[in-house]
Amino acid sequence: MARFADHWRTSAFRLSLLYGGVFVVAVLALLGLIYWRTAGYMILQNDEVIDLELHAFQKLDAAALRERIAHEMDRDVRHINVYGLFDHDGNQIAGNLVSAPPGLPEDGTVHRLRDARLGEPWQALPQLRGAALLLGSGELLVVGRDVAPLIEIRAIILRALALVGSLTLLAGIGAAGLLSVSPLRRIGAIKSASERVMRGDVKARLPIAGRHDELDMLAGIVNSMLDEIERLLSEVKSVCDGIAHDLRTPLTRLRARIYRLQQDLDRQPQHQAAAEQAVAETDALLARFQALLRISEIEDSQRRGGFADVALDDIVAQTIELYEPMAEARSVRLVYAARAKPRVHGDGELLFEAINNLVDNAIKFSPAGGSVQVELDEDARGARIDIVDSGPGIPAQEREAVLQRFYRGEGTREAPGSGLGLSIVSAIARLHRFELELADADGGTRVTLWCAPLRLHG
Amino acid sequence: MARVLVIEDDAATAQEIVTELAQRDIAADWVADGREGLNKALAGGYDAITLDRMLPGMDGIAVVAALRERGRHTPVLMISALSDVDERVRGLRAGGDDYLTKPFASHEMAARLEVMLRRSQLQPLSKLRVADLEMDLIERTARRGQRTIELRSAEFRLLEYMMRNQGQVLTRTMIFEAVWGYHFNPTTNVIEVHVARMRKQIDGPGEPPLLRTVRGSGYVLG
Give pLDDT tens digits for A316-341.
Answer: 999 999 999 999 999 999 999 999 99
**Closest listed residue to residue B76, CA positions, set B59, B86, B61, B89:** B61
Q: Which residues of A touch B197 (CB under 8 A)?
A: 325, 328-329
| CB < 8 Å & 24+ apart, contacts of A243-249 | A244/A289, A244/A292, A244/A293, A244/A296, A245/A293, A247/A289, A248/A286, A248/A289, A248/A290, A248/A293, A248/B103, A249/B102, A249/B103
Arithmetic mean of pLDDT, A56-78: 86
Query: By percentage, how much of chain A surpasses pLDDT 90?
Result: 16
B214 contacts chain A (CB < 8 A)? no
Q: What distance in Å separates the CA atoms of residue A6 and residue B135, rounded to the nearest whole number?
A: 74
What pLDDT sits at residue A292? 78
Q: Which residues of A touch B104 (CB under 8 A)?
A: 252
Q: Which residues of B touch A291 (CB under 8 A)?
A: 187
* Smallest CA–CA distance from A275 into chain B, residue: B216
**Closest listed residue to residue A327, CA positions, set A355, A362, A354:** A362
What pLDDT sits at residue A1? 47
Rounded to whole angstroms, what are the CA distances from B18 to A263, B24, B119? 17, 10, 21
Exposed, middle or buried by CB within 10 Å (0-12, 13-18, 19+), for A344?
A: buried
Q: Which residues of A touch B214 (CB under 8 A)?
A: none
Q: What distance in Å separates the CA atoms of residue A379 and residue B129, rounded to the nearest whole number?
A: 50
What pLDDT sits at residue A148? 74
Q: Which of B184, B185, B197 to mutate to test the interface with A (most CBs of A within 10 A)?
A: B184
Give the residue, B150 or A458, on which the prediction is more confident. B150
What pLDDT sits at residue B83? 67
Q: What angle do CA A439, A445, A450 make, to 5 degrees?
A: 55
Cβ pair B188:A326 closer than 8 A: yes
Exposed, middle or buried by CB within 10 Å (0-12, 13-18, 19+), for B50?
A: buried
Write the pLDDT tens digit of every residue in A248-274.
Answer: 777 877 887 787 787 777 667 777 788
Q: Residue B126: count other Cβ atoms within 10 Å of its Cβ.
A: 9
Q: Which residues of A touch B102 (CB under 8 A)?
A: 249
What pLDDT sits at residue A456? 42
Q: Which of B158, B188, B213 to mutate to test the interface with A (most CBs of A within 10 A)?
A: B188
* Smallest CA–CA distance from A358 into chain B, residue: B187
Interface of B with A in 113-152 (CB under 8 A): 152
Alpha helices, H only, A301-386: 312-329, 348-365
- Are the C-beta atoms of residues A387 and A357 closer than 8 Å to each other? no
What pLDDT sits at residue B50? 94
Arithmetic mean of pLDDT, A191-211: 84
- Are the C-beta atoms of residues A302 and A274 closer than 8 Å to each other? no
Q: Which of A241, A251, A252 to mutate to test the interface with B (most CBs of B within 10 A)?
A: A252
B25 contacts chain A (CB < 8 A)? no
- Report CA torsion sign: B15, B16, B22, B23: positive
Which residues pair with residue A447 across a beta bridge?
A: A387, A438
Q: What 8-state DSSP symbol labels residue A211? A: S
Cβ pair B180:A248 closer than 8 A: no
Task: Quote the distance between the C-alpha of residue A314 and its chain's center.
Answer: 46
**Closest listed residue to residue B187, CA positions, set A376, A360, A371, A207:** A360
Closest chain B C-alpha to A423 CA, distance in angstroms: 12
Q: What distance in Å separates the CA atoms of residue A14 and residue A172, rounded to the nearest whole number?
A: 10
Q: Residue A432: count other Cβ atoms within 10 Å of its Cβ.
A: 23
Give the residue, A142 or A4, on which the prediction is more confident. A142
The whole-model pTM stands at: 0.62
Which residues pair with residue A379 across a beta bridge?
A: A382
**Closest listed residue to residue B216, CA positions, set A256, A414, A251:** A256
**Closest listed residue to residue B38, CA positions, set B17, B14, B57, B13:** B57
Cβ pair A306:B86 closer than 8 A: yes
Task: Quote the distance between the C-alpha of residue A246 and its chain's center.
Answer: 49
- In the predicted model, what is the mean pLDDT of chain A? 82
In this complex, which of A272, A325, A357 lies closest to B187 when CB atoms are compared? A357
What pLDDT sits at residue A334? 94
Quote helix, strand, coil % in chain B, to nearest 5: 40, 20, 40
Quickly state the pLDDT bin for B187 (edges 50, 70, 90).
low
Closest chain B C-alpha to A279 CA, distance in angstroms: 7
Which residues pair with residue B127 across a beta bridge?
A: B136
In this complex, which of A259, A301, A306 lies closest to B216 when CB atoms are compared? A259
Cβ pair A360:B190 closer than 8 A: yes
Exposed, middle or buried by CB within 10 Å (0-12, 13-18, 19+), for B211?
A: buried
B44 contacts chain A (CB < 8 A)? no
Report which residue type is found at B154: A
* Smallest CA–CA distance from A421 into chain B, residue: B187
What pLDDT sits at residue B51? 93
Q: Which residues of A touch B171 (CB under 8 A)?
A: none
Count of alpha carbons within 13 angstroms of residue A213, beta-carbon side? 9
Q: Which residues of B touch A417 (CB under 8 A)?
A: 187-188
Give the residue, B102 or B121, on which the prediction is more confident. B102
- Report CA torsion sign: A79, A81, A85, A89: positive
Q: What distance in Å separates the CA atoms of residue A343 and residue A312, rounded to the nearest whole number?
A: 6
- In the predicted model, what is the mean pLDDT of chain B? 88
- Are the C-beta atoms of residues A49 and A41 closer than 8 Å to each other? no
- Are the C-beta atoms of residues A133 and A108 closer than 8 Å to each other? yes
Report which residue type is found at B38: L
Arithmetic mean of pLDDT, B209-218: 88
